[in-house]
């Protein structure tokens, strides 16, 4: 008996849809690209329940006829490809005829469309790839398409969707990528009845500022290079606008957003020695080249592409960014621009008379710098003012030797055995008796704490991160931690994506002791902070927390709560390079060895301290 048979069309469509429509954001991307290809100048997006319930896109494009509207939902039906060569010269966003067919296979779709020359439009209702209704309707020029109940017929796929906050974040990312590529088109996005984006048509710089925020406006550097092979234009951010994550990095090839680690490296290498290793530059760059030089059909989402010659593209991008940085003088330099206040001084405004000139030339200071070999000369009359310099030096030296004024004592070989240790901690290998006496700091980064069998060298930042990690972890298991109410609440204004992320993290932050309330569109009020934390800039702390959380967000090993704890521990830890007094060092050492796991960082990748035993030290000297 034969066992191989053709799949029914609806099942084949659902399988094919899995490659194109992975989540609501995937459907939005396809619908937005169709609206752009239709020549729309105004595109509106409405979503409810993170797009799981409804996702609607309305445009004022050229619309479709009754026949075209019906054919658009058939698989591989397209108006852009006639022969195979067309695939390598296409400049439109969509061309394979898979988007609408895929959406109709996994959702309930309603579409109203009308051309300008038609009196009536067309209404079509499709469910599970089957047309349920088709009739004439009255509607505006353009297309209004609404996707309802995504994956209603594939409940297993629907169960794999993330939380509403996570899915909304993906929708916003896709919306931004299309809106950024077409600044001449008006875009708006409404989420559950509230307008999230209202992007008026304008220049590319205006669109970048609209999306990334007004605070990046002063940090944008223009990039523009034109050659016979390719053109590159856009904006890069100055080093001070860099971020801890890659969230604000956009590459477009022929107005299509792409992902390319290769080109990301080209930009990063251009910023070499201008940014810390853990920071990423901000950029929005557009590459224009002959479509025949690039293959955009290597991935279902068309976000991964292949260049005919990647090395040339890499070199052009790197050179263009370096040239822009050089033109903007992005390097440590002396500012020779004149201060307007200086121009108002009498010494600048008033004329330099002969009397003033004679007075200046007769001064000892003038002679010191004009007479030959006299630059080292000091007027004897001024020596009396410097006569007490030695007394000042001697008193300062005596204070430093005393070591009783909060100064870190210098380390000598005989000092290590002179401290008695009081605090006990347990190690897997043995028990080490640590002291409550004085510790020593080295290079403002390391703490030397003597033991009964040698000493331990502690990295203060990693150690404090371990302390805070366990402390915040314990707070998460309480009903509610202590909150210190702020005398004057602080307002923080975030980008749309960050505000959605913070809204999702509020329950976890409340467990630790934060009290943050929503205050209108993308604005929050910080009413209280954890009682154990000392902060000077709560706004910056929240912004940094979100940046670090996004850095951890791709790691699926950790829960959201675990990521928040790790972010706070890293953010609040004492940084390397900070000078500590003896009491601070001693407290840090005691708290470290009171931890459940004192010997490694929260990530488990780095040790918090290194133990130097007496016999190991003796072997270093051949004893």
Domain 206-327 has CATH 3.30.230.10: yes
Percent of the chain with pLDDT strictly greater than 90: 21
Q: What is the rounded CA–CA span in Å between residue 315 and residue 426?
A: 56
Strand partners, 56: 46, 146
Quote the pLDDT of residue 79: 75
- Beta-sheet strands, E only, within 22-153: 42-48, 54-59, 108-114, 121-127, 130-137, 142-148
* pLDDT of 609 over the 50 cut: yes
Q: Tell me the average pLDDT across 367-376.
A: 55
In DSSP notation, 540-583 reads HHHHHHHHHHHHHTT-TTS-HHHHHHHHHHHHHSPPTT----HH
431 falls in which pLDDT band (50, 70, 90)? very low
Q: What is the token pair recorded at 378? A: 């000091």
Strand partners, 143: 59, 113
Angle separating helix axes 164-181 and 496-512, nearest 10 degrees: 150
Strand partners, 298: none
User: Are the beta carbons of 278 and 583 closer than 8 angstroms?
Assistant: no
Quote the pLDDT of residue 180: 94
pLDDT 10s digits, 543-560: 777 877 776 665 555 677
In DSSP notation, 518-540 reads E-STTEEEEEEEETT---S-HHH
CATH of 417-623, one of 3.30.300.30, 1.20.120.920, 3.40.50.980, 3.30.1370.100: 3.30.1370.100
Q: What is the token pair recorded at 591? A: 């708290």
pLDDT 10s digits, 98-117: 788 888 888 999 999 999 99
Q: What is the token pair recorded at 600? A: 């490694």
* pLDDT of 249 over the 60 cut: yes
**Which is more confidently placed, 416 or 180?**
180
- Domain definitions of the chain by residue range: 9-199, 206-327, 417-623
User: Are the beta carbons of 532 and 513 closer than 8 angstroms?
Assistant: yes
pLDDT 10s digits, 50-61: 999 999 999 999
Angle subtended at Cα 525 by Cα 521 and Cα 526, rounded to the nearest 5 degrees: 145
Q: Tell me the average pLDDT across 404-428.
A: 37
95 falls in which pLDDT band (50, 70, 90)? low
Quote the pLDDT of residue 517: 86
CB-based burial of residue 492 (10 Å sphere; 0-12 exposed, 13-18 middle, 19+ buried)? buried
Quote the pLDDT of residue 435: 46
CB-based burial of residue 297 (10 Å sphere; 0-12 exposed, 13-18 middle, 19+ buried)? middle
Q: What CATH class has 9-199?
A: alpha beta
Quote the pLDDT of residue 276: 77
Q: Tell me the average pLDDT across 8-35.
A: 82
Where b means 16+ CB within 10 Å and e means fewer, 495-508 reads bbbbbbbbbbbeeb
Quote the pLDDT of residue 551: 65
**Which is more confidently placed, 349 or 265?**
265
């Amino acid at each position: 008996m034969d066992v191989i048979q053709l799949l029914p069309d609806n099942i084949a469509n659902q399988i094919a849809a899995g490659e194109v429509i992975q989540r609501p954001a995937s459907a939005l991307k396809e619908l937005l690209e169709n609206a752009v290809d239709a020549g729309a100048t105004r595109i509106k997006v409405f979503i409810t329940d993170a797009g799981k319930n409804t996702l609607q896109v309305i445009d004022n494009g050229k619309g479709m006829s009754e026949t075209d509207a019906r054919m658009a939902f058939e698989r591989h039906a397209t108006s852009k490809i006639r022969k195979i060569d067309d695939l390598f010269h296409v400049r439109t966003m969509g061309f394979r005829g898979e988007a609408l067919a895929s959406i109709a296979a996994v959702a309930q779709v309603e579409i109203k469309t009308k051309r300008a020359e038609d009196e009536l439009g067309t209404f079509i209702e499709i469910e599970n790839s089957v047309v349920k209704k088709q009739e004439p309707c009255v509607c505006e020029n353009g297309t209004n398409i609404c996707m309802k109940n995504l994956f209603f017929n594939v409940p297993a796929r629907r169960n794999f969707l993330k939380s509403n906050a996570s899915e909304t974040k993906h929708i916003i990312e896709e919306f931004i990528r299309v809106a950024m590529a077409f600044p001449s088109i008006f875009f708006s996005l409404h989420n559950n009845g509230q307008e999230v984006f209202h992007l008026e048509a304008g220049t590319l710089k205006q669109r970048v500022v609209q999306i990334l925020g007004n605070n990046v406006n002063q940090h944008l550097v223009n990039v523009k290079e034109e050659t016979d092979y390719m053109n590159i234009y856009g904006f890069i951010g100055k080093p001070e606008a860099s971020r801890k994550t890659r969230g604000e990095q956009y590459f477009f090839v022929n107005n299509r957003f792409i992902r390319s680690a290769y080109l990301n490296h080209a930009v990063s290498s251009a910023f070499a020695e201008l940014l810390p290793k853990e920071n990423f530059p901000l950029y929005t760059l557009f590459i224009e080249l002959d479509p025949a030089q690039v293959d955009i059909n290597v991935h279902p989402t068309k976000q991964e592409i292949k260049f005919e010659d990647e090395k040339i593209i890499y070199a052009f991008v790197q050179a263009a960014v370096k040239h822009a940085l050089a033109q903007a003088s992005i390097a440590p330099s002396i500012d020779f621009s004149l201060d307007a206040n200086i121009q108002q001084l009498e010494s600048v405004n008033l004329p330099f008379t002969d009397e003033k000139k004679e007075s200046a030339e007769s001064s000892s200071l003038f002679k010191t710098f004009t007479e030959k070999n006299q630059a080292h000369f000091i007027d004897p009359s001024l020596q009396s003012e410097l006569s007490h310099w030695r007394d000042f030096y001697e008193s300062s030296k005596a204070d430093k030797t005393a070591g009783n004024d909060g100064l870190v004592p210098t380390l000598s070989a005989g000092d290590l055995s002179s401290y008695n240790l009081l605090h006990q901690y347990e190690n897997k290998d043995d028990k080490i008796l640590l002291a409550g006496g004085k510790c020593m700091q080295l290079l403002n980064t390391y703490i030397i704490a003597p033991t009964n069998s040698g000493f331990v060298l502690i990295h203060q930042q990693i150690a404090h991160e371990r302390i805070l990690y366990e402390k915040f972890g314990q707070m998460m298991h309480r009903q509610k931690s202590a909150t210190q109410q702020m005398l004057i609440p602080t307002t923080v204004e975030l980008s749309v994506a960050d505000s959605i992320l913070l809204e999702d993290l509020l329950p976890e932050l409340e467990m630790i002791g934060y009290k943050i309330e929503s205050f209108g569109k993308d604005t929050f009020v910080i009413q209280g902070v954890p009682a154990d934390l000392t902060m000077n800039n709560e706004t910056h702390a929240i912004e940094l927390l979100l940046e670090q959380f996004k850095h951890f967000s791709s790691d699926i090993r950790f829960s959201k709560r675990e990521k928040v704890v790790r972010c706070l521990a890293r953010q609040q830890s004492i940084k390397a390079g900070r000078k500590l007094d003896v009491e601070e060092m001693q407290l840090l050492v005691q708290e470290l060895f009171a931890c459940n796991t004192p010997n490694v960082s929260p990530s488990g990748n780095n040790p918090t301290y290194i133990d130097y035993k007496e016999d190991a030290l003796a072997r270093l000297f051949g004893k």
